[in-house]
Amino acid sequence: MDISSWDGTISLAEFHVAARALVEKWKRVSSASPPWSWVSCPKQPWVASHEVEGYLSLENIILVSIKEEHDELLSFPQKEETSCSDKEESIDIATLSQSDRDEICYYDLHIVYSASYRVPVLYFRVYYSDGEPLEFEDIKKHLPAHSAKTLLDSKWTFITQEEHPYLKRPWYKLHPCGTGEWMKLLFQGDVSLARNGAAIEVYLISWLSFVGQVVGLRIPYEMLNQL
């Protein structure tokens, strides 16, 4: 892939390759935490069946309110960092730390390919342990503080409620409008990716490391390791 002329978007086939890579690497790197899985979607007989359709799913996970750690998350993990001891914690995304007013809430995260934007899109649901969905106002309180900050420009992380393309139910969605742009920036800043030619394999992982911050999903640093 020629990074210099690339617009940051990917094809459906590339999305599948990237999804497979994410699932495999995640399993390898953080076997303790719940795995991402690929969900295939059955289709009506008149819709093209030679195309694989589906989405990535990570469900029933607890994401902590990590307001205290926002400094760590604002910087993109550098590959030169070698001190792993305090990175161990980051692998366990189910770490609990409740403040007085927090209740435990669960997230379902789905990554769906958008044919319009040619990028992955994050859909998510938030609910209490009894399954009751959170009101949007309460979701906002649970999101990491930096979600509201200007680093994650509102243009890119605008959250809307829309119908899930496969499940046909209301889900929250992160608006994909600027994704292509910042994926291009992300990759351009990393010359080794271009040389490796393995850009697609890490596309979703890189994407998730950025987008996941909006909901407080932490990517184990090992996921971003090229070696």
Partner 1 sequence: MMEAQKYVWEGAIPLQIHLHESEVTTLPPPLPALILAPRIGYLPLLIPHIKPHFNSTLPPGVDTVWFEYKGLPLKWYIPTGVLFDLLCVEPERPWNLTVHFRGYPGNILIPCEGEDSVKWSFINSLKEASYIINGNCKNVMNMSQPDQVELWHSVFNGNLEAYLKVSSKLKLGTAGHEYSANLNSGSFVSRQSTGDTDATGQVKTGRVPVRLYVWGVSEDFDDLEDAPQIDSWDKISYINRPVEIHGEEGKCFTLLDAVKSLLPEHFQYKSLTNEESSKEEGEDEQKVPSEEGGENLSEDVESCYPSDNAEVKLVRIQGIEPKLEIPFSWVVHNLMNPEHFLHICVCLKVSQVKIPSDG
Binding site for partner 1 (CB under 8 A): 7, 11-14, 16-17, 39, 41-52, 115-117, 155, 160-163, 165-170, 175, 177, 180-181
Nearer to partner 1, 46 or 227 (CB): 46
Nearer to partner 1, 131 or 189 (CB): 131
Nearer to partner 1, 101 or 169 (CB): 169
Q: How far is the CB of 123 from partner 1 (least distance, A)?
A: 12
Among 41, 84, 105, 177, the active-site one is: 177
Residue (of 48, 187, 221) closest to 119 by Cα position: 187
Q: How far is the CB of 51 from partner 1 (least distance, A)?
A: 6
Q: How far is the CB of 106 from partner 1 (least distance, A)?
A: 17
Exposed e or buried b per residue across 80-114, where buried means at least 16 C-beta atoms within 10 angstroms of its C-beta = eeeeeeeeeebbebeeeeeeeeeeebbbbbbbbbb
Q: Is 177 a catalytic residue?
A: yes
Token reading at 7:
């617009």
Q: How far is the CB of 86 from partner 1 (least distance, A)?
A: 38
Taking every pair of Cα atoms in the chain, the longest distance, rounded to a whole number of angstroms, is 54
Query: Any idea which residues carry the catalytic annotation?
Result: 177
